[in-house]
Structure 1
Amino acid sequence: MHYYRKRRCYQPGVLLLALSILCLALAGCGARKSAAPEVSLPGVIVPETGGDPLTHTEVAALRSTGHIDRDVPDHAMEDVALQYKYFLRKGRQTMCSFSKRSEQYLDYARQVFRARGMPEELANLAIVESGYRPDARSPAGAAGAWQFMPGTGTLYGLQQDWWTDERLDPYKATEAAADYLQKLHNDFGDWPTAIAAYNAGEGKMSRAKLGTGGRNFFEVKALNHTLDEKTQLREETKQYVPRFMAVTKIMRNLPQLGFDPIQPEKAPGVVRFTARPGTDLTAFSKACDLSWPEFSSYNRHHKRRITCTDRCTFVYVPARSQKLAEQYLCTAQTAGYAGWGPVTVASSADSWEKLSRRANVPVARLKAVNPDVGRLKAGQTILAPRGVNMSRTAVAALDDKKGKRTKSKPVAARKEPVKGRAESAARSRDGEKAAAHGGRHTLQANETLYAVARKYNVSVAALQEQNDIEDPGRVRQGHVLRIPAAGAQRRESAPVARGASGSIGKKRARKVTYTVQANDSLWKIARKHNVSVEDLKRWNRVDEKSLRSGTRLVVAEE
């Protein structure tokens, strides 16, 4: 439900000081209540008037201007003044909380907009959207600090799937928001209209602009009442731009207005790393000396305890843990779950113990990466080694074997374990021999790379590299695997020092390169190859000033 203020007529050219005083006498409407006030600002804020008049200092701050709010028509300043006074009075605690939370992200956001030649004030838009809460969600389905809807997020490169929701990555979402706002500015020609379109949608804004003949948001807003109900801008959008301008004026003058000053440039640093597919995030957090809740607070975009096993993804740690993170990410066990993926439970008769026997993986390990799953039920999606047989037939076969063992004679039952131990010991000796000298292994039914790696005491990553396997899920029964010798395994596991590019990797790492094109920036190149700007700088010892067309950059290390 939306609330509308009564329309009034005002003479043009009213002084800003007079407007701020006049707002005391105007009768206003109640603000729409927010369903989740701690998550984001209410959709419509039409502040109540009254209370103390603005002081000279507050009027001076209201009259301050930046790139976006410098050409506001006099008739539009009333709404800006009303929003401004709301956040100074009734909404002061909200403004205090949001400004403090934004301190962690503002410096990065300003850098992103500055690098694209866009006004730095746009960084304040996330305050209006969510109060800079990375995990903010709206009833309509928008998510993250920049409140991307699913479709728009996908369009601007924010992955959303079983593994991740990158709308909750405040840094990558900031880059996507900059791309979207830049596109809207190109479409509409000015920032207030682009900001209104960010809230209403570009289609809605285009139709309202066409229907009124207005050249910008302010003219469209003034003529909004001439449109039919379907085409009209909602009250939320009409108040959205004034609210942004009011918040921007306050952020520009926090100490003068009695708010605690913030220093975004001195906020605790956060370092972004590119994690390989199947990285164990629980082990990563422990290696960085971080509790899981603290680690998770930096990585809300990850839905699982391991990273996606199909692609590289970003992982964030506080700057104090940078060296520990670098040490962990260059070890062989980092991507220990590269051969795992989402599988569907086919039968409610299945259990962790049965799955453990089929996958040859300890129950504790299966449960560790599925912490929220209790008893297995048909239709559930869980993490398990790819290629494991999840069919009802496989589950039933285990039940049949168990039944036969139960019915067997006591004497036979006593002899069987002895035979089993002998066979197990023989297999162990074979595995040790193959691990020492190398060899071959034919993949059996329901056997996974993880099981083979355990048998021969090598890593899954070493098996993949030795056999040129990119996707462990595509390895099938009958595949002949070359087993790396023990010496090769040790060499593969050993990290090497930083090379000329400054990267950390393995001796056999393959580098992927890219030739810089005209108008390229590190932001664009990093986004195109799904790596961080920090990675590009570290691998190539390059920055924006030294970037030249025709230069070949390392954009990935495999």
Structure 2
Amino acid sequence: MHKEATRSGAQRLWKQGLCLLLAYALLAGCSARQGGGTEESLSLRVPAEEAATPLSPAEQAALQSSGPIDRNIPADAMQEVTLQYKHFLNKGRPTMKIVSKRAENYLAYSRKVFRTRGMPEDLAYLAIVESGYRPDAVSRAGAAGAWQFMPYTGMKYGLNQDWWMDERLDPYRATEAAADYLQKLYGDFRDWPTAIAAYNAGEGKMRRAMEGTGTRNFYGVCQRNEMLDEKAQLRDETKQYVPRFIAITKIMRNLPQLGFEPIRPESAPLVLRFTARPGTDLMGLSRACGISWEDFVALNRHHRRPITSTERSTFVYVPQRVEHQATAFLRGSGSTAFAQWQPKKVQTSSDSWAKISKRSGVSIAQLKSVNPGTDAIYAGDTILVPRSVNMSASAVNRQGGGSGKSNATRERRPAPAAVASSGKMHTLQPNETLYGVARKYGVSVAAIQEANDISNPNSLRAGQSLRIPGTVAVAERKNPSGRLGASRSGRSSKRATYTVRPGDNLWNIARRYDVSVDDLKRWNNVDESALRVGATMIVEAN
């Protein structure tokens, strides 16, 4: 068992009101390559009238301060920095107060990560631009965490995302991954403003813009951006991203001089990182430490279940004050009571918690406690059960009926035969609505409800499987010979066309069709930064 000191706060400053939601409009987030805005964006551009706001001598001195990243800024770029700077000192001041205070919980660790790698410590402020240092931030494009990693980029830099966890929501692991990515980008471009712009736009986009303009860095591209065709140009979001970061950096370095409350990252509440063995009972850990489940979750948002992965060791975080209790619990044999459990799919709607309890010898109460929010289970659901439990339909059928009234209220009516023969299955995604699913497949909400016996659409939950009436799994397109194309492996394949929707990225499209990202790139001659809503892509699904 390993523990490492980090700094964070159990305080949840995100509860400071709806004003915070609007405040994030000024934080642009990332582009399609890496992330996206974390809130509803009012405007990416700061109102021009703020340019006339005069600066006090202290404000002017802070603006002229410089570090490894914000020195030697060209005059035209400095105008944009000044505009952003004035905005955060005036209309954006309430937001700056909130995000600087929240950053206090993470800056000591972030600075240490960059410092130990020989990178500028000011890079720690980039997470303010990305998310306001919100570990739970999720953008409309699918980026997540304080550093707004898109799924594919997160996996590429070691952030696990599966049924058990999403390490993009671990602010410490995400900081380490961001340092890896930024270090790689600096190696590519040998210039920090350009590397930061590439973090937003994607390295491919940045490299092509430099080649197209014949320039050597981000500032040069901005000066000649109009030379490029519309597709190749850097978007306004990226052009403002670096000046916004520089403006925030200058403010963060001079908070007291600019009239903000000083922050003391080294004095923030200390949090310890432990390595938990597979199948660790997280609720048991929170009880052993004497902290509420809500407070525990606030420190461990990357865990999606009350049990850690039964496949590998993972990190958990607890306040330093409960170090001894956490150590004792994690060393005890009882901490991994669920090590021999695993996620399994419910194979038939005839199954129930009562039947699983009989097959496993585990009480219904305990089964439900490790599967919160699943009072009823349905075919296609993934649940956590002992490895030894036979979840096959035949095992359920051998049990027969006898599940009583709870089964009658739990089970759905079988779908009509016509629907069963022609329908496609859809797995409900987080924040997805029945209306959105209906629009996606061109069917009515009522038809989906009837096909799945849904009386209350608000009872749906992420991960639930829905049968879509009157659809086919893949839209087949024949080649001139009238035969479906064959994959390189010799297996028959179906060629489909897919229309890119808001929030899509190559990784989730590839996962939807069980193909690789590299295949999508090869078939369509496209990369992440060139993905556009409404574009048509070719997918050869096996």
Q: Which amino acid aligns with 1:343?
A: K
Distance 1:401 1:61, change over 3 A: closer
> 2:408 matched to 1:391?
no
Residue of structure 2 equivalent to 1:178: 179
Residue of structure 2 equivalent to 1:156: 157
Residue of structure 1 equivalent to 2:451: none
Q: Which amino acid aligns with 1:241?
A: V
Tell me the CA shift for residue 39 of structure 1: 4.8
* Structure with higher RCO (Cα < 8 A, 6+ apart): 2
What secondary structure sits across from 1:373 in the alignment? coil
Q: Which amino acid aligns with 1:66?
A: G
Tell me the CA shift for residue 34 of structure 1: 7.9
Distance 1:158 1:322, change over 3 A: same
User: Once the two structures are superposed, what CA deviation does each residue of 1:332-354 show, in whole Å capped at 9, x if it has no partner?
Assistant: 11110001111111111211111
Distance 1:129 1:52, change over 3 A: same
What secondary structure sits across from 1:306 in the alignment? coil
Tell me the CA shift for residue 32 of structure 1: 8.0
User: Once the two structures are superposed, what CA deviation does each residue of 1:174-215 show, in whole Å capped at 9, x if it has no partner?
Assistant: 000001000000000110000000000000000001100111
What secondary structure sits across from 2:385 in the alignment? strand
Residue of structure 2 equivalent to 1:354: 355
Q: C-alpha distance in 1, partners of 2:296/2:49?
A: 44
Residue of structure 1 equivalent to 2:379: 378
Q: C-alpha distance in 2, partners of 1:93/1:80?
A: 19
Q: C-alpha distance in 2, partners of 1:33/1:127?
A: 8
**1:404-553 mapped onto 2 (5 Å cutoff):** none
Tell me the CA shift for residue 33 of structure 1: 9.9
**1:27-42 mapped onto 2 (5 Å cutoff):** 39=39
Q: C-alpha distance in 1, partners of 2:373/2:154?
A: 27
**1:111-510 mapped onto 2 (5 Å cutoff):** 111-399=112-400
Tell me the CA shift for residue 70 of structure 1: 1.0
> 2:84 matched to 1:76?
no
Distance 1:41 1:122, change over 3 A: farther
Structure 1 residues not aligned, in runs of 5+: 1-30, 404-558
Distance 1:43 1:320, change over 3 A: farther
Tell me the CA shift for residue 387 of structure 1: 2.9
Q: C-alpha distance in 1, partners of 2:298/2:45?
A: 30
Do the aligned partners of 1:34 and 1:42 also contact (CA within 8 Å) in 2? Answer: no
Do the aligned partners of 1:40 and 1:129 also contact (CA within 8 Å) in 2? Answer: no
Tell me the CA shift for residue 401 of structure 1: 7.8
Q: Which moved more, 1:371-380 or 1:123-132?
A: 371-380
Q: C-alpha distance in 2, partners of 1:205/1:37?
A: 20
Residue of structure 1 equivalent to 2:47: 47
Do the aligned partners of 1:43 and 1:236 also contact (CA within 8 Å) in 2? Answer: no
User: Once the two structures are superposed, what CA deviation does each residue of 1:259-280 show, in whole Å capped at 9, x if it has no partner?
Assistant: 1100001100010000000000
Distance 1:321 1:341, change over 3 A: same
Do the aligned partners of 2:348 and 2:378 also contact (CA within 8 Å) in 1? Answer: yes
Q: Which amino acid aligns with 1:124?
A: Y
What secondary structure sits across from 2:160 in the alignment? coil
User: Once the two structures are superposed, what CA deviation does each residue of 1:533-553 show, in whole Å capped at 9, x if it has no partner?
Assistant: xxxxxxxxxxxxxxxxxxxxx
Do the aligned partners of 2:355 and 2:403 also contact (CA within 8 Å) in 1? Answer: no
Q: Which amino acid aligns with 1:207?
A: R
Distance 1:44 1:71, change over 3 A: same
User: Once the two structures are superposed, what CA deviation does each residue of 1:280-314 show, in whole Å capped at 9, x if it has no partner?
Assistant: 00001000111000000000000000000000000
Q: Which amino acid aligns with 2:218?
A: F
Do the aligned partners of 2:352 and 2:403 also contact (CA within 8 Å) in 1? Answer: no
What secondary structure sits across from 1:343 in the alignment? strand
Q: Which moved more, 1:239-248 or 1:44-53?
A: 44-53
What secondary structure sits across from 2:296 in the alignment? helix
Distance 1:238 1:105, change over 3 A: same
Q: C-alpha distance in 2, partners of 1:152/1:42?
A: 27
Q: For the aligned residues, what is the CA RMSD?
A: 2.0
Q: C-alpha distance in 2, partners of 1:248/1:228?
A: 32
Tell me the CA shift for residue 54 of structure 1: 1.2
Do the aligned partners of 2:213 and 2:225 also contact (CA within 8 Å) in 1? Answer: yes
Do the aligned partners of 1:39 and 1:131 also contact (CA within 8 Å) in 2? Answer: no
Q: Which amino acid aligns with 1:326?
A: T
What secondary structure sits across from 1:49 in the alignment? helix
Tell me the CA shift for residue 75 of structure 1: 2.1
Do the aligned partners of 1:33 and 1:42 also contact (CA within 8 Å) in 2? Answer: no
Do the aligned partners of 1:46 and 1:239 also contact (CA within 8 Å) in 2? Answer: no
Do the aligned partners of 1:41 and 1:130 also contact (CA within 8 Å) in 2? Answer: no
Q: C-alpha distance in 2, partners of 1:75/1:379?
A: 57
What secondary structure sits across from 2:318 in the alignment? strand
Distance 1:115 1:208, change over 3 A: same
Q: C-alpha distance in 1, partners of 2:106/2:39?
A: 17
Q: C-alpha distance in 1, partners of 2:233/2:39?
A: 27
Distance 1:42 1:339, change over 3 A: farther
Q: C-alpha distance in 1, partners of 2:374/2:63?
A: 54
Tell me the CA shift for residue 45 of structure 1: 3.1
User: Once the two structures are superposed, what CA deviation does each residue of 1:26-63 show, in whole Å capped at 9, x if it has no partner?
Assistant: xxxxx889899875987723333246411111111111
Q: Which amino acid aligns with 2:49?
A: T
Residue of structure 1 equivalent to 2:505: none
What secondary structure sits across from 1:104 in the alignment? coil
Q: Which amino acid aligns with 2:45?
A: I
TM-score using structure 2 length: 0.67
Q: Which amino acid aligns with 1:263?
A: R
What secondary structure sits across from 1:256 in the alignment? helix
Distance 1:34 1:171, change over 3 A: closer
Distance 1:308 1:32, change over 3 A: closer
Do the aligned partners of 2:27 and 2:130 also contact (CA within 8 Å) in 1? Answer: no
What secondary structure sits across from 1:207 in the alignment? helix
What secondary structure sits across from 2:257 in the alignment? coil
Q: Which amino acid aligns with 2:249?
A: T
Tell me the CA shift for residue 396 of structure 1: 1.7
User: Once the two structures are superposed, what CA deviation does each residue of 1:421-457 show, in whole Å capped at 9, x if it has no partner?
Assistant: xxxxxxxxxxxxxxxxxxxxxxxxxxxxxxxxxxxxx
Larger Rg: 1
Residue of structure 2 equivalent to 1:57: 58
Q: C-alpha distance in 1, partners of 2:132/2:98?
A: 8
Q: Which amino acid aligns with 1:387?
A: S
Structure 2 residues not aligned, in runs of 5+: 1-24, 30-35, 405-542
User: Once the two structures are superposed, what CA deviation does each residue of 1:130-167 show, in whole Å capped at 9, x if it has no partner?
Assistant: 00000101111110000001111000000000000000
Do the aligned partners of 1:40 and 1:130 also contact (CA within 8 Å) in 2? Answer: no
Q: Which amino acid aligns with 1:242?
A: P
Distance 1:402 1:172, change over 3 A: closer
Do the aligned partners of 1:345 and 1:390 also contact (CA within 8 Å) in 2? Answer: yes
Do the aligned partners of 2:122 and 2:249 also contact (CA within 8 Å) in 1? Answer: yes
Q: C-alpha distance in 2, partners of 1:274/1:317?
A: 11
What secondary structure sits across from 1:341 in the alignment? strand
